[in-house]
Structure 1
């Protein structure tokens, strides 16, 4: 627990602190890394957003509340893609905020190459990168 003298930290400051701990990735770079097999894209958006806006082909869909359990390479509930702590994971939320906190949480689990997508899914789509219909999910 923190000391009694610690002041509360607002979400904007928390995001700034978290993001200072790793390098975020832009949509085109993430797309190329995934195509080259150098990164695992992980979509943590909730179902209604995926259905409304679509899916990134090849991205692993993991609800945010399951993320750590599914990506911990040592976990009993891990996804088959969670093969190593050296895995480069790119967490994607809707606009690039929740994904920053999620990436930091994965780093605490030892996934030191975890990062998140600047601007989230909305930035991916705005760049004209591949998206398939959410109805296909």
Structure 2
């Protein structure tokens, strides 16, 4: 249990974002919060035919990239925010995040359960 003195510094230090562990899992609700407040870029790795059935709400900080283009995007981007990967069921996002974590190119995490869990959680999506 943390002991605080009730000073302004306690508030500031408590609000500091935690460091991102590469390849770590996030719940879809946490991924939504990261994208909503633009703390992370949500990257949708799903194929076109999967996105036709529904997608991430356009108001969120999100990008759509095929998995083959992700590495080039991470190398060439000027956006230094961490990346949260999402796929249809979460498995591709997990495998990709773990592989990228080994390369240590970017701060990459993945949404557990993917877009299926996103929809089940009732998070904003377009039809």
Q: Shorter chain as normaliser: what TM range?
A: 0.7 to 0.9
Matched, 1:123 2:126: no
Q: Does 1:27 align with 2:22?
A: no
Q: Whole-Å Cα distance in 2 between the matches of residues 63 and 43 of structure 1?
A: 8
- State the 1:109 CA deviation: 4.6
Aligned to 1:51: 52
Q: What 5-or-longer segments of structure 1 have no aligned partner?
A: 1-20
Match of 1:6 in 2: none
Is contact 1:95-1:121 (8 Å) kept?
yes
Confirm whether residue 60 of structure 1 aligns to residue 63 of structure 2: yes
Question: Matches of residues 1-137 of structure 1 in structure 2 within 5 Å?
Answer: 22-52=23-53, 54-57=54-57, 58=60, 59-72=62-75, 75=76, 78=77, 82-84=78-80, 87-107=81-101, 108-111=103-106, 113-133=107-127
Distance 1:118 1:63 in 2: 19
C-alpha distance in structure 2 between counterparts of 1:70 and 1:110, whole Å: 11
**Paired residues, number:** 102
Q: Which structure ranks higher in relative contact order (CA pairs < 8 Å, sequence separation ≥ 6)?
A: 2
The two structures have a TM-score, normalised by structure 2, of 0.73
Structure 2: gaps (5+ residues) = 1-21
Contact 1:68 1:105 in 2 (8 A): no
The structure 1 segments of at least 4 consecutive aligned residues displaced by more than 4 Å after TM superposition are none
TM-score using structure 1 length? 0.68
Q: CA RMSD in A?
A: 1.6
